[in-house]
Amino acid sequence: MAQAGGNDKLILARAADMAQDVLLYHKINITDFYDPYHTGLVISALKFTSGVSCRADGGYPGAERKRVVICPDYQDPEDTDSGLTFLSIAGSFHSSRPGHRDYLGSLLGLGLKREKLGDVLVNDGGANVIASGEVAPYIMANLLRVGRWEVSVDRMEAKDLKLPEEKVKTVNTTVSSLRLDSVAAAGYGVSRSKMAGYISSERVNLNWQVKNSPSQTVKEGDIISIRGRGRVEVTAVKGNSRGGRIFIELNRYY
């Protein structure tokens, strides 16, 4: 905890304040949406706060961005509403259609903070958006276009979410070391020098944290991600070859 960065400390401080409110006023508090790293950070910190219980919810199993529900420990957080609203964005798309960047850009263009939005799930007919309840009416009233496409926004039920099918490719290979640049290069199929450039320019995340050091060590179970290029999971480190290289197994998610 002492090594937390500035943004980490701010998020933890907000969560601590919310937990104190829960204890003092016997109320329920819900955080903003966080990425997996910050969600885990908050959940871990709250475990050391007596008198409260919590859970993370992103609207569906496997959600990336989640809110944390904080309630008194005499209440079951699983029975507590997490303040999520599910929205369906639809339009008449023909030869081309908007992508994730278009949807997210248009939502943020309304003046919304990213922390008020969960996952944006793009499908053939449009997109499903998970948002905090307090901003959902504003989105419904004001999101009229996504890029050059006219759209309409309606509420929907969680059970009707159109979850994208994730493609997985397993890669068995060898690397010279477990450095981030080496493993990530193998996973994404690019040169090590090119990946080192991505890392130095802070385009690469390790376990949802931005890293800028190519020499960062990677271990089994770690997840490497690059925005717009999917993610790579280190599923196994299998030992060394006679030549001293390291056998690894990676799952590349598209």
How many alpha carbons lie under 13 Å from residue 50 in its C-beta half-sphere? 0
Cβ contacts of 22 within 8 Å, gap of 6 or more: 28, 29, 51, 52, 70, 71, 72
Domain of 102, CATH number, reads: 3.30.70.330
Confidence of residue 5 (pLDDT cuts 50, 70, 90): low
Smallest CA-to-CA distance from 154 within 93, 88, 59 is with 88
> Which tops the pLDDT comparison, 130 or 228?
130
* Pair 75, 92 in one domain: no
* Pair 36, 109 in one domain: no
pLDDT at position 2? 36
191, pLDDT greater than 60: yes
Q: Which amino acid is at 236?
A: A
As a whole number, mean pLDDT of residues 68-77 equals 97
* Pair 201, 220 in one domain: yes
Confidence of residue 194 (pLDDT cuts 50, 70, 90): very high
Which structure tokens are listed for 37?
Answer: 């790293």
1, pLDDT greater than 60: no
pTM of the shown model: 0.86
Last residue of a domain, one of 44, 63, 79: 79
Cβ contacts of 13 within 8 Å, gap of 6 or more: none
pLDDT at position 231? 96
Full residue range of the structural domain in which residue 16 is found: 6-79
As a whole number, mean pLDDT of residues 100-106 equals 96
Residue 153 located in a structural domain? yes
Residue 51 located in a structural domain? yes
Cβ contacts of 147 within 8 Å, gap of 6 or more: 98, 102, 105, 106
Sheet of strand 209-211: strand arrangement: 168-175, 246-253, 231-240, 223-226, 204-206, 209-211
* Pair 16, 93 in one domain: no
Residue 1 located in a structural domain? no
3, pLDDT greater than 60: no
The structural domain count of the chain equals 3
Last residue of a domain, one of 35, 58, 79: 79
pLDDT in tens, 159-190: 999 998 889 999 999 999 999 999 999 999 99
Quick one: angle between helices 36-46 and 6-25, nearest 10?
A: 40
Confidence of residue 227 (pLDDT cuts 50, 70, 90): confident
